[in-house]
Structure 1
Amino acid sequence: MLVKWIRCTVVDRRGFERGQRKWAGLPGEPGFRGQGGGWSKGRPNVAHVFAFWESRAFYDSFMARSHDRLAAGQSGTYRDLQAKLFDYRFDVKTGFEPRFTGVDVVRIAHCKVHADRVEHYALMQEKVWNPAMAGSPGMVRGLFGEAPENEFLVMSMWRSEAEHGKYRRERVERLLLRTQTEADIASLAGDVVQLEPSWTV
């Protein structure tokens, strides 16, 4: 599965949201698995969108055919758009599905990892971080994705911001020490996204 993460700064909120509804045509596209998104909790007017495709081939075909027509509805409503593609590697909690039901917030961590630490980083993610997140009340589903140049995306979906906050307060600091994450990571960018149900396709 291919995961696309889009982030941009919105300059015309009403126009952007109107355009966002035009993506409702995606389910007819071959290989499309789901899309959703919302607003950054920490940065005003920053929007995040997450899209899932069965494979790179299906995604490339969509980009060549239908993408520009659907995207035209949002032209001029945003700036500083960044889009990244990640290959799905494994679930954070068993049974990941590309859907947004029963979820209020999405937490994303985008990491660049030192080349000689990639194996250790992925192992710690699988053996330490994932069980800790999966065992936390309110964590619904998540995934671990990889891109070229030692880039990784950890995406976790939570029933509420309060439950995600509780996990951060009670466990993250201890886990950072245990996994030596700081030695693995060259850079880390993260955000908490308040989902907009009307953007879910």
Structure 2
Amino acid sequence: MLVKWMRCTVVDRRGFERGQRKWAGLLGEPGFRGQGGGWSRTRPGVAHLVTFWESRSFYDSFMARSHDRLAAAQMGTYTNEQTLLFEHEFDVKVGFRPVFEEADVLRLAHCQVRADRVDHFTLMQEKVWNPAMAGSPGMLRGLLGRAPGEEFLILSMWQSAAERGKYRPERLERLALRAQTEADVRSVTGDVADLEPSWTV
């Protein structure tokens, strides 16, 4: 499965949200699995969208045929667009499905991993981070995605902000020490978004 993550700074909120409704047209596209997104909690005006496709070939076909027509409704409503593509490596928890209905919060962590530590990083995601996240109250589902090279996305969906708050900083520090995250990772950037139900396709 291919995961597309887009983030942008919205300059015309009403126009952007109106244009976002046009993406319902994705429903007829071959290979389309789901789309959702919302507003950043920490960066005013920043929107995050994630879209799931069965494969890169379905996505490329969509980009060549229908993308520009659907995107036209949002032209001029945002700046600073950044789009990244990741291939699904494995699930966080079990049985990942690209559905957003029960989720309130989307967490995105973008990791640049040292080339000689990629195998260790993925092993620690599987053996340390994955069980810890899976056992956190309110955590619904997630995945680890990989871009060419040493770039990874950890995406997780949560039931509510309050539940995600139980995933406490001191626990994160203990897990990071155990997983040797500092040795594996050159940089981590990310965000937490409040999902907008009207953006779900």
TM-score range, shorter chain: over 0.9
How far apart in 2 are the matches of 1:141 and 1:72?
A: 32
Q: Match for 1:101: what amino acid?
A: E
The TM-score, its normalising length taken from structure 1, stands at 0.99
Three-state SS of the structure 2 residue aligned to 1:166 is coil
Structure 2: which 5+ runs fail to align? none
CA positional deviation for 1:170: 5.2
How far apart in 2 are the matches of 1:183 and 1:158?
A: 28
Q: 1:183 corresponds to which residue?
A: 183
Three-state SS of the structure 1 residue aligned to 2:126 is helix
How far apart in 1 are the matches of 2:101 and 2:135?
A: 19
Which runs of structure 1 show a deviation greater than 6 angstroms over 4 or more consecutive aligned residues?
none
Q: Match for 1:124: what amino acid?
A: M
Three-state SS of the structure 2 residue aligned to 1:101 is coil
**Deviation sequence 1:27-57 (CA, Å, 0-9, x none):** 1000000000000000000000000000000
**Deviation sequence 1:120-145 (CA, Å, 0-9, x none):** 00000000000000011100000000
How far apart in 1 are the matches of 2:168 and 2:160?
A: 13
How far apart in 1 are the matches of 2:155 and 2:196?
A: 17
Q: 1:104 corresponds to which residue?
A: 104
Structure 1: which 5+ runs fail to align? none
CA positional deviation for 1:187: 1.0
Q: 1:41 corresponds to which residue?
A: 41
**Deviation sequence 1:180-201 (CA, Å, 0-9, x none):** 1011111110100100000000
Q: 1:78 corresponds to which residue?
A: 78
CA positional deviation for 1:109: 0.4
Q: 1:87 corresponds to which residue?
A: 87
How far apart in 1 are the matches of 2:168 and 2:133?
A: 10
CA positional deviation for 1:18: 0.3
CA positional deviation for 1:165: 1.6
The TM-score, its normalising length taken from structure 2, stands at 0.99
RMSD (Å), alpha carbons: 0.7
Q: 1:126 corresponds to which residue?
A: 126
Q: 2:12 corresponds to which residue?
A: 12
Sequence identity (%): 74
Q: Match for 1:9: what amino acid?
A: T
How far apart in 2 are the matches of 1:62 and 1:5?
A: 16
Alignment of 1:145 with 2:155, yes or no, is no
**Deviation sequence 1:66-87 (CA, Å, 0-9, x none):** 0000000000000000000000
How far apart in 2 are the matches of 1:58 and 1:172?
A: 37
Three-state SS of the structure 2 residue aligned to 1:167 is coil
Three-state SS of the structure 2 residue aligned to 1:42 is coil
